[in-house]
Amino acid sequence: MDWVTTLFVMLGVVCLQLFVGVPVAFAFLAANILGALLFLGGLDALVTFPIEALDAIGKFSLTPIPMFVLMGELLFHTGVAIRAIDAIDKLIVRVPGRLAVVSLLGGTAFASLSGSTIASTALIGNTLLPRMISQGYDKKLAMGSIMSVGGIAMLIPPSALAVLLASLAEQSIAGLLIAGIVPGLLMALLFVAYVLIRCRINPGLAPQEAQIETRRVEWRPIVVYVLPLFVIFAAVLGSMFGGFASPTESAAVGCVVTAVVCAGYRKLTLSSIRVSIIETAKISVMILFIVAGSLTFSQILAVSGGTSGLLRTLAEAAFSPMNIVLIMLVILLFLGCFMDQISMILLTLPFFVPLALSNDIDMIWLMLLVLVTMELSLLTPPFGLLLFVMKGVAPKDITLTNVYGAAMPFVLMKYVVLILLIAWPQVATWLPNLVLR
């Protein structure tokens, strides 16, 4: 069987199952069984699957994933994150589109502490969307501002997805975490500027703002409920930057500090700990199950000659490194229309990493572009994950078409950041080079 037929069969089996709704882990498992029968000598090869799965998920470098997830779950289930958002609400009073700006700043702050796109969007949506609609905000502006910052959790550390990507690509986890800071903050600034300008031009988008212009700025809630949370951020990055801890150890430090901060607010109860641990276990098991299936899938592709055949063909085509990067991003944008982010990473990484290394492409820059592209896919119709999260928390009269329309201006701004990173790689690489040199 030639490499084209091999790839068509193996990728077709996975994509077809994902399209009809089969869970990702089981889709890879079915493809792996077929691959073993076709390329690895039949049923005898299935005996090695448990061993390979254990090797895949037994990596110490994957430990930060459940740690970062646990940090976000603790902040969410103890209510500490909600108090921080309310504090930001009391700080911003005399700006157009105040609650939309609060959702952007609060969402960015929570994203920087939780690393969870879904948790961030669900929290801000449940907290602020009803208030914004009741005060007469334009529904598209309200939903768009909430959805837009959910994906920032994928960029600003701690990011479980960044850890997974760097670990599987066998690249610097610390370098990728640091590289995501500048693009993440740049997106947040673009979103805030967009809301301010639109509400200044058309005050009808936020008609109730004039009623609160005389309210005093309250700094005490910021000092009490927001600033202490940045101790968590400082603990994670500070221990890593200072050389006191590896990325894996800094994730453990972050969990301990998060628990201490929640306990300081007297919100850390046995009930909240129990729920947080259960939710963390659910998410982590799902991720690691998918990782195990995907890595076995990658090995089968390598043995079958599918990966080497594709790489050889692209090398003979003599594409420039920049063209290769653009091809990769186009593939990810296409897959993002109907596939979740973890599946995209695990399906494409076996091809992207060897191709990038053979063409001397900067891996930190490439991985950051992959993260930004996948963040775009979170808001890309028809199957962007955050679109469905927003539909779930929005009023019943909001249609999915309304949600799509709300996301589009913010999707365009994310494309602006992506183009900036492609045109000037230094935007992605200067901070990691400065900190880690």
Select the more confidently predicted residue: 12 or 41.
12
**Which tokens hold the place of 56?**
């895949």
Q: Is residue 378 within 8 Å of 344, Cβ to Cβ?
A: no
- Categorize the per-residue pLDDT at 337 as very low, low, confident or very high, splitting at 50, 70 and 90: low
Which residues fall within 8 angstroms of residue 318, CB to CB, at 6 or more apart?
A: none
Q: Indicate the average pLDDT of the chain.
A: 80
Q: Is the pLDDT of residue 208 over 60?
A: no
Q: What is the mean pLDDT of residues 58-86?
A: 77
- Residue-wise DSSP of 280-344: HHHHHHHHHHHHHHHHHHHHHHHHHTHHHHHHHHHHHHT--HHHHHHHHHHHHHHHTTTS-HHHH
- Categorize the per-residue pLDDT at 214 as very low, low, confident or very high, splitting at 50, 70 and 90: very low
Q: Is the pLDDT of residue 209 over 60?
A: no
For residues 121 and 64, give the distance between their C-alpha atoms in angstroms, rounded to a whole number. 22
Predicted pLDDT of residue 274: 93
- Categorize the per-residue pLDDT at 383 as very low, low, confident or very high, splitting at 50, 70 and 90: low
Q: Is the pLDDT of residue 171 over 80?
A: yes
Select the more confidently predicted residue: 436 or 276.
276
Q: Is the pLDDT of residue 197 over 70?
A: yes
Predicted pLDDT of residue 60: 67
Q: What is the mean pLDDT of residues 332-361?
A: 77
Q: Is the pLDDT of residue 121 over 90?
A: no
Q: Is the pLDDT of residue 309 over 50?
A: yes
Q: Is the pLDDT of residue 221 over 50?
A: yes
Q: Is the pLDDT of residue 91 over 80?
A: no
Q: Is residue 240 within 8 Å of 247, Cβ to Cβ?
A: yes
Give 420: exposed, middle or buried? Use CB within 10 Å, 0-12, 13-18, 19+. Answer: middle
| H-helix or E-strand spanning residue 241 | helix 230-241
Nearest-Å Rg of the Cα atoms of the chain is: 22
Select the more confidently predicted residue: 168 or 147.
147
For residues 61 and 65, give the distance between their C-alpha atoms in angstroms, rounded to a whole number. 9
For residues 277 and 231, give the distance between their C-alpha atoms in angstroms, rounded to a whole number. 22
- Residue-wise DSSP of 213-235: TTSPP--HHIIIIIGGGHHHHHH
For residues 404 and 160, give the distance between their C-alpha atoms in angstroms, rounded to a whole number. 26
- DSSP SS3 for 36: helix
Q: What is the mean pLDDT of residues 332-353?
A: 73
Single-letter residue type at 76: F
Predicted pLDDT of residue 213: 46
Which has the minimum average pLDDT: 17-31, 137-151, 246-260, 416-430? Answer: 17-31
Q: Is the pLDDT of residue 212 over 80?
A: no
Listed in sequence order, the DSSP H helices in 44-180 are 49-57, 64-77, 80-91, 98-114, 117-134, 139-150, 160-168, 173-179
Q: What is the mean pLDDT of residues 178-198?
A: 91
Predicted pLDDT of residue 228: 79
Which residues fall within 8 angstroms of residue 284, CB to CB, at 6 or more apart?
A: 65, 66, 69
Predicted pLDDT of residue 414: 92
Q: Is the pLDDT of residue 416 over 90?
A: yes
pTM: 0.73
Single-letter residue type at 196: L
- Residue-wise DSSP of 41-53: -SGGGGGGHHHHH
Q: What is the mean pLDDT of residues 153-177?
A: 81
Calculate what percentage of the chain has a pLDDT beyond 70.
85
Q: Is the pLDDT of residue 48 over 80?
A: no
Give 71: exposed, middle or buried? Use CB within 10 Å, 0-12, 13-18, 19+. Answer: buried
- DSSP SS3 for 180: coil
Closest CA to 140 of 382, 394, 380: 394
Q: What is the mean pLDDT of residues 90-99?
A: 77
Of 115-124, 200-209, 393-402, 418-427, the range with the highest mean pLDDT is 418-427
Q: What is the mean pLDDT of residues 376-393?
A: 75
Sign of the alpha-carbon dihedral angle for 119, 123, 125, 126: positive
8-state DSSP, 245: S
Which has the minimum average pLDDT: 37-51, 205-219, 234-248, 272-286? Answer: 205-219
